[in-house]
Each structure stands twice: as C-alpha cells, then as structure tokens.
C-alpha cells in the first residue's frame, strides 16, 4: 500500500493556485497507486515555532523525556511520524517574498530532527528518509522557477536532500501575474505526466 502525505502551506484558501494544483496532483497519484492512503496536513492552520526548551529537548530519546518534554515535542512527534510513514509527499509551496511561507518553514523545522530524519556521522550528515518521492507544487506571481530570484527551489531541494530524499520533482505555475492561463496549463500538463 502506498502512503501519500499532502502538505498545504498557502495562507489563501478559496483562490489558492498551489492548493488546487496540489489537490489535482494528489488525486492523480491516488488513482495511479491502487489502494493508496492519503493524509493531508494543512500547516497554514498554524504550527508552533521552536522555543528554547524545544531546541534542547528534541535531541533527547523519547524514553528519557519528562512529561513536560513530551508535551513540548508532541506536535513534532506527530509531524515526524506522518513524514516517515509516507512513501510519496506532495508539498504545496507558494512563493512568498522569494521564499517559502513561514508555515512551511515551521513544518521543516519540526520534521528535520537529528536521530530521526537525519544523523551526523564521521563523514558528515546523513539523511534517513531515502527511498521517498517528493513532488513540490510551486505557484508564484512573478518569480520564474529556476531563476536567480527563485529561492524556493534550491532551498527545498537542499532540505529534502539533507533528509535523504533526492527524488524531488517540481511542478510550477510560475509568473501567474503575467500569464496565468498558460502557467496553470503547463503545471497541469506536468501533473498528467506524473500519472504516466
């Protein structure tokens, strides 16, 4: 059975291009993989930001945590479990001011956990999530994907590689402010190719 995890991060609900295209891609992938399960995490609903205690407590083994430390890390534990259980992750990542939304960055802070999703070795860091596939659905008003002003693509590619996932595909509806129809059509064509 294939487990698909959907991450929505757009602050917009009704008119979000990244949300619509992300949902379309997930629908296509769910049809492609018989008996797939789909879990959706809307990080725009709000995640806690790292605190001083969170930073220090997150490196403790679960068995060594106090009740308060378990409470501090409860949200992180759930998000890490969702990610590690997934075979395919579809991330809706609109471009906000040349980067990812704060809500998506908060999710990354939660799931990038030493000893759980990556570890340090004598040879350097090693990602622990190898074998997964990630699709990133990017929507932007004016920033072309892969341009010098695109900080979303290199950042997410680096983060996911750090966690061990190198099979990352970007589907872009970029430059929506200039040519929305053409941009969305290109993204939908890429979605159909993902189903092949």
- Would you say 17 is a known binding-site residue? yes
- Tokens read off for 153: 């693509």
Measured distance CA(93)–CA(136) in Å, rounded: 7
Q: Note whether 94 and 16 are within 8 A (CB).
A: yes
- Tokens read off for 106: 């908060």
Neighbours of 163 (CB within 10 A): 24
- Would you say 9 is a known binding-site residue? no
Measured distance CA(78)–CA(64) in Å, rounded: 18
- Would you say 140 is a known binding-site residue? no
- Would you say 165 is a known binding-site residue? no
Measured distance CA(107)–CA(129) in Å, rounded: 16
- To 10 degrees, the CA torsion angle through 99, 100, 102, 105? -120
Residue numbers belonging to the annotated binding site for FMN: 10, 16-18
Residue numbers belonging to the annotated binding site: 10, 16-18
């Amino acid at each position: 059975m294939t487990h698909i995890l959907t991450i929505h991060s757009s602050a917009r609900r009704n008119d979000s291009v990244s949300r619509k295209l992300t949902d379309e891609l997930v629908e296509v992938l769910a049809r492609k993989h018989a008996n797939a399960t789909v879990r959706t995490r809307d990080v725009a609903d709000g995640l806690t930001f790292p605190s001083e205690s969170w930073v220090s407590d997150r490196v403790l083994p679960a068995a060594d945590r106090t009740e308060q430390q378990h409470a501090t890390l409860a949200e992180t534990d759930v998000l890490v479990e969702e990610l590690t259980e997934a075979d395919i992750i579809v991330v809706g990542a609109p471009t906000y001011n040349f980067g990812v939304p704060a809500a998506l960055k908060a999710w990354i802070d939660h799931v990038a956990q030493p000893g759980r999703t990556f570890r340090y070795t004598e040879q350097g860091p090693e990602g622990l999530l190898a074998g997964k596939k990630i699709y990133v659905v990017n929507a932007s008003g004016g920033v072309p994907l892969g341009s010098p002003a695109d900080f979303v693509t290199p950042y997410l590619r680096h983060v996911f590689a750090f966690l061990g996932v190198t099979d990352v595909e970007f589907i872009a509806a970029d430059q929506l402010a200039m040519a929305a129809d053409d941009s969305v059509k290109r993204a939908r064509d890429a979605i159909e190719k993902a189903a092949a």
